[in-house]
Amino acid sequence: MLIEQFYLGCLSQASYIVADERSRRAVVVDPRRDIDEYLAFAAAHQLDIGLVVLTHVHADFVPGHTELAEVTGAPIAMGEAAPVDYPIRRLVDGERISLGDDPGVTDAVTLEVLSTPGHTPESITLAVYEHGTDPEPRAILTGDTLFIGDVGRPDLLGAAGRSADEMARELYRSLHTKILPLSDRVLVYPGHGAGSACGKALSADTVSTIGAQRIGNYALAPMSEGEFVAAVTEGLSEPPAYFRDDVAINRSGHSAFHPETPLAEVDVDDAVRRAGEECVLIDLRDDQAFAAGHLRGAINVGLSGRFAEYAAAVTLPGKEVLLFGSPDEVAEGRVRLARVGVDHVTGAVTDIAVLVRRPELVVSSSRLDAHRARRVIDELEIQIVDVRQAGELEEGVISGSIHLPLVRLRDSYEHLDSSRPVLIYCAGGYRSIAAASLLEALGFDDVSDLLGGYGAWERAHGKALSA
**Domain ranges, ordered by start, for the chain:** 2-251, 259-363, 366-461
Give the pLDDT confidence score for residue 467 in this predicted structure: 34
Geometric angle at alpha carbon 447, from 446 and 448, rounded to 5°: 130
CATH of 259-363, one of 3.80.10.10, 3.40.250.10, 3.40.50.10800, 3.30.70.20: 3.40.250.10
The reported pLDDT for the residue numbered 426 is 96
141-155 CB burial, b ≥16 within 10 A, e <16: bbbbbbbbbbbbbbb
Q: Do 450 and 370 contact (CB within 8 A), yes or no? A: yes
Distance, in Å, from the CA atom of 427 to the CA atom of 28, rounded to the nearest integer, reads 37
Q: Which residues pair with 320 in a beta bridge?
A: 279
Would you state the pLDDT for residue 46? 97
**pLDDT computed for residue 84 by the predictor:** 96
Instruction: Catalogue the E-assigned strands of 301-344.
Output: 320-324
User: Is 75 within 8 Å of 69 (Cβ atoms)?
Assistant: yes
Indicate whether this model's pTM tops 0.85.
Answer: yes
**Measured in whole angstroms, how far is the alpha carbon of residue 390 from the centre of its chain?**
17
Closest listed residue to residue 285, CA positions, set 352, 238, 197, 366: 352
Residues 218, 231 contacting (CB under 8 angstroms):
yes
Arch. (CATH architecture) of 2-251: 4-Layer Sandwich (3.60)
Looking at residue 466, its pLDDT comes to 41
In this structure, CATH architecture of domain 366-461: 3-Layer(aba) Sandwich (3.40)
CA atoms within 13 A on the CB side of 343: 16
Query: What pLDDT score was predicted for residue 463?
Result: 76
DSSP assignments along 126-151, one per residue: EEEESSTT-SS-SEEEEETSB-SSSB
Of 142, 8, 119, which is closest to residue 59 (Cα–Cα)?
119
Same fold, 259-363 and 366-461: yes
Buried b (16+ CB within 10 A) or exposed e, 248-268: ebbbeebeebeeeeebeebeb
Distance separating alpha carbons of residues 205 and 185, to the nearest angstrom = 17
Amino acid at residue number 186: V
pLDDT at 305 (0 to 100): 82
* Per-residue pLDDT tens listing for the chain (467 residues): 999 999 999 899 999 999 999 999 999 999 999 999 999 999 999 999 999 999 999 999 999 999 999 999 999 999 999 999 999 999 999 999 999 987 677 789 999 999 999 999 999 999 999 999 999 999 999 999 999 999 999 988 655 678 899 999 999 999 999 999 999 999 999 999 988 888 877 889 999 999 999 999 999 999 999 999 999 998 887 788 889 899 999 999 999 999 999 999 999 999 999 997 789 999 999 999 999 999 999 999 999 888 998 999 899 877 899 999 999 999 999 999 999 999 999 999 999 999 999 999 999 999 999 999 999 999 999 999 999 988 889 889 999 999 999 998 988 999 999 999 999 999 999 999 999 999 999 999 999 999 999 999 999 998 765 43
